[in-house]
Amino acid sequence: MSLLNLQLKVWRQNQGQPGHFQEIQARGIPDHASFLEMMDIVNERLIKDGSDPVAFDHDCREGICGMCSMTINGIPHGPEKATTTCQLHMRKFRDGDTIWIEPFRARAFPVIKDLIVDRGAFDRIQQAGGYVTVRTGAAPDANSILVGKEVADAAMDAAACIGCGACVAACKNASAMLFVSAKAGQLNSLPQGQPEKDRRTLGMVRQMDKEGFGNCTNQYECEAACPKEISVRWITKMNRDYAIASAKEAFVGTTERTEGGE
């Protein structure tokens, strides 16, 4: 194991105030440490010096919860392909490196503190249709809904999304198309998702626009940054589903939820 001396340029910001980069020396960092453990060490020293530690989001530290969200040297989750920040290890850096650490930047992801951003927009998009309306207890036997293996596998590819927001942070337009298309695409591909397909697609896309995410201009930075390697083909599918749903809406009428019967 060797030790690294690094120069960090870390984004510091309090809610509602302008932010700035702070230079922090990170000396003697074990190369076996994960990136977040490096941040733990730095924070421990800041606390010891009576300074304000760097606030960052993290939880599972095994690449599945989607909570960690740092842009490292300009790349969401850093330089390693298909790897979240928490799974990135310091041996990928060299002694003497300068590392720029920023939050996931997007207008729809306001900064709460330092590297912590508010990704509540993702929840609201899913509340706008990212579900199958099925009451607990009202489900038929699981094997009465047959799903071909290829279809199930494709749905699982989309469902692997961890909702971290790297796709948004990577996009020059801060578009959320990869996220939204993966979430809608999973359900729109499955037989269980067919009855609500149009309503789901319109609801989620409109909420996405309302949240202030930008448009997709087919640069595919999102796919490159995605730690779960979600394919941009889901965006193609969503565009198709959206076109069909809007056309139906224009010719047949509204697909808005109507409360009736109860």
Partner 1 sequence: MSLDSKTPSGPMALRWSKHKQDSKLINPKNKRKYTVIVVGSGLAGASAAATLSELGYQVKCFCFQDSPRRAHSIAAQGGINAAKNYQNDGDSVHRLFYDTVKGGDFRARESNVHRLAEESVNIIDQCAAQGVPFAREYGGGLANRSFGGAQVSRTFYARGQTGQQLLLGAYSSLNKEIARGGVKMYSRTEMLDVVVVDGHAKGIITRDLVTGAIESHAGDTVLLCTGGYGNVFYLSTNAMGCNVTATWRAHRKGAYFANPCYTQIHPTCIPVSGDYQSKLTLMSESLRNDGRIWVPKKKEDCGKPATQIAEEDRDYFLERKYPSFGNLAPRDISSRAAKEACDAGLGVGPGGRGVYLDFAEAIGQFGQKTIAERYGNLFEMYEKITGESGYKQPMRIYPAVHYTMGGLWVDYNLMSSLPGLHVLGEANFSDHGANRLGASALMQGLADGYFVIPTTIAPYLVTQKPGAVTTSHPEFQKALEDARARTNRLLNVKGKRSVDSFHRELGLLVWDKCGMARDKAGLNEALKRIPELREEFWSNVVVPGSGSAANPELEKAGRVADFMEFGELLCLDAREREESCGGHFRTEHQYPDGEAKRDDENYCYAAAWEYTGDLSKPTLNKEQLTFEEVHLQVRSYK
Restricting to residues 193-222, name those near partner 1 by CB under 8 A. 193
Question: Is 119 an interacting residue with respect to partner 1 (CB under 8 A)?
Answer: yes
Stretch that binds partner 1, among 56-64, 100-108, 209-217, 235-243 (CB under 8 A): 56-64
* Binding track over 89-108 against partner 1, x by CB under 8 A: x-x-----------------
- CA 67/CA 111 separation, integer angstroms: 14
Q: Taking CB under 8 A as the rule, does residue 22 contact partner 1?
A: no
Nearer to partner 1, 158 or 216 (CB): 158
Alpha carbon separation from 87 to 18, 38, 58, 251 (Å, rounded): 30, 12, 11, 49
Cβ nearer to partner 1, comparing 29 with 171: 29
State yes or no: residue 126 binds partner 1 (CB under 8 A). yes
Q: By CB neighbour count within 10 A (0-12 exposed, 13-18 middle, 19+ buried), where does 252 fall?
A: exposed
Q: What angle do CA 249, 126, 61 make, to 5 degrees?
A: 155
β-bridge partners, 113 = 14, 116
In angstroms, rounded to a whole number, what is the distance separating the alpha carbons of residues 120 and 117?
9
Q: Which is nearer to partner 1, 143 or 254 (CB)?
A: 143
Smallest distance, partner 1 to C-beta of residue 176, A = 14
Taking the complex as a whole, the smallest distance from the CB of residue 218 to partner 1 amounts, in Å, to 27
For β-strands 75-76 and 3-12, DSSP reports them as: unpaired
Please identify which residue in the block is written with the tokens 């530290």.
Answer: 61
When the beta carbons of 40 and 249 are compared against partner 1, the nearer one is 40
Q: Least distance (Å) from partner 1 to the CB of residue 148?
A: 5
* 123 counts as binding partner 1 under rule CB under 8 A: yes
Residues between 148 and 177 that touch partner 1 (CB under 8 A): 148-149, 152-153, 155-156, 159-160, 162-163
Where does 19-157 show beta strands of DSSP type E? 20-30, 70-72, 75-76, 98-103, 111-113, 116-117
Among 17, 146, 172, 252, indicate the residue that binds partner 1 (CB under 8 A): 146
User: Residue 52 corresponds to which tokens in the numbers above?
Assistant: 């304000």
CA dist., res. 253 & res. 6, Å (int): 60
How many residues form the binding site for partner 1 (CB under 8 A)?
A: 79
Residues linked to residue 102 through DSSP beta bridges, in sequence order? 71
